[in-house]
Amino acid sequence: MLIAPSILAADFAHLADEVRAVEQDADWLHVDVMDNHFVPNLTIGLPVVSRLMGTTRLPFDCHLMIELPQRWAVPYAEAGAYNVSFHAEAVDDAVALAKNLRAAGSRAGLAIDRDTPVEPYLEILPHFDVLLIMTIKAGFGGQQFIPALLDKVRTARRHASSGHLDLRLEVDGGITEDTITQAAEAGADAFVAGTAVYRADDPAGAVRRLRRAAGSAAP
């Protein structure tokens, strides 16, 4: 079970401090890169992300919500990202980009947004290390978790298990101490949480509580 706090909900004026606040308890740091084209929101880009990497030992899980990821994703890998996820809806050749990311030294992640079915992508999953299934519409933090989207997690988990794939199933959006249990029961094993971590009084404690709640899921 991996917990990945999303700095989208952190204080952007104090990013390094906000990362340090969860460093002992988090597994990955989730970084949402948005370009105001693929989604109607704008966040941070490579200069900020790569500087932030230098302040922590946490592996960076970069979630690119951008157009033309074939142009921008590899530089995140070269800068030292642990995983780079790009959106299936934004590329023509997802496999080619996954190969380039792996060649550049990072894991490759495929993200699928709320309205995208998972079935068309099952066949290409061996090229990926992470499948990021949105449990909201990508673009903004603080939205309500959509339980129906867990059907995609179940489908992907069945497929990954039967094919013996070495694949992380990550969920992103509306993850709280309540919803994380359902997501874990559906087969997710990596959990992004923005609001639930960074709007809590004690972000590190919130990470620990999320981990406990995920661990309490029925097998």
Which of 127, 29, 41 is CA-nearest to residue 83? 29
Catalytic annotation, pick one of 27, 35, 129, 172: 172
**Site mask, ligand DX5, residues 16-45, x = CB under 6 A?**
--------------x-x-------------
Residue 56 in contact with ligand DX5, rule: CB under 6 A: no
Residue 192 in contact with ligand DX5, rule: CB under 6 A: yes
Q: How far is the CB of 186 from ligand DX5 (least distance, A)?
A: 17
118: tokens are 């998972």
Rule CB under 6 A: choose which of 2, 3, 8, 88 binds ligand DX5.
Answer: 8
Active site residue 35: no
Q: How far is the CB of 213 from Zn ion (least distance, A)?
A: 19
CA distances from 137 to 20, 38, 110, 114 (A): 28, 12, 15, 5
Active site residue 172: yes
Rule CB under 6 A: choose which of 59, 109, 141, 187 binds ligand DX5.
Answer: 141
Residue 203 in contact with ligand DX5, rule: CB under 6 A: no
Q: Single out the segment in contact with ligand DX5 by CB under 6 A; choices: 83-91, 98-106, 141-149, 201-209.
A: 141-149
Residue at shortest CB range from Zn ion: 63
Residues that bind Zn ion (CB under 5 A): 32, 63, 172
Nearer to ligand DX5, 13 or 218 (CB): 13
Residues 6+ apart with CB under 8 A from 14: none
Please give the full DSSP string across 162-176, using - where no structure is assigned.
HTT---EEEEESS--
**Site mask, ligand DX5, residues 151-170, x = CB under 6 A?**
--------------------
**b/e sequence 171-188, b meaning 16+ C-beta within 10 Å:** bbbbbbbebbbbbbbbbb
Query: Could you count the other beta carbons within 10 Å of the beta carbon of residue 42?
Result: 11
CA distances from 83 to 42, 49, 90 (A): 21, 13, 18
Residue 131 in contact with ligand DX5, rule: CB under 6 A: no
Do 3 and 211 meet the contact criterion of CB atoms below 8 Å apart?
yes
| Alpha carbons 150 and 175: distance in angstroms, whole number | 12
| Alpha carbons 150 and 133: distance in angstroms, whole number | 8
Query: Could you count the other beta carbons within 10 Å of the beta carbon of residue 158?
Result: 12
Q: Single out the segment in contact with ligand DX5 by CB under 6 A; choices: 50-58, 69-77, 92-100, 187-195.
A: 187-195
Contact set with ligand DX5 (CB under 6 A)? 6, 8-9, 30, 32, 63, 136, 138-143, 172-175, 192-196
